[in-house]
Amino acid sequence: MIRLEGLLCDADRDLLMIAEFLVCYRFSAHYWLLDVDMNCTHTEAGWFELKTYVTDAGGSGFWESDVTQAWKCSGDVGGYRPYASSNHMARCGFVNVFVFGQGTCTIDSCTFCS
């Protein structure tokens, strides 16, 4: 497991002016942005799994419950996940959008992804 921390899309409007964070403006303040540099050749056909771990100010936390993600994601890129998982499945090199605890997924093109 790799621990990553995301950016609350409503956290800092000055920071959000950076090109990578402009994607936040497409969503409400209740979304989080996680920008990951990864070697996509080490994924399963470009797909990888992720799950949210939520912590409070005191440091205690909990894992997001298992999800049953749709086999086909919507979006201008979309796609079919390669295998079943109880986690969210994302595609490397695209903007992946998930709803906490739900199985919906949207995969869109990304102008700043390389």
pLDDT digits (tens, 9 = 90+) for 11-70: 555 554 555 555 555 666 667 777 778 899 999 999 999 998 888 777 788 899 999 999
Its pTM surpasses 0.95: no
pLDDT surpassing 70 at residue 6: no
Question: What local confidence, expressed as pLDDT, does residue 5 receive?
Answer: 56
Dist. CA 9–CA 23, nearest whole Å: 9
Residue with tokens 């986690």: 87
Q: What b/e string do you get for 38-72 counting C-beta neighbours within 10 Å, with b at 16 or more?
A: eeeeebeeebbebebeeeeeeeeeeebeebebeee
pLDDT surpassing 90 at residue 83: yes
Where does the pLDDT of residue 107 fall: very low under 50, low under 70, confident under 90, or very high at 90 and above? very high
Beta carbons of 92 and 81 less than 8 angstroms apart: no
Cβ-based neighbours of 10, under 8 Å, separated by 6 or more: 24, 28, 29, 30
pLDDT surpassing 90 at residue 114: no
pLDDT surpassing 50 at residue 1: no
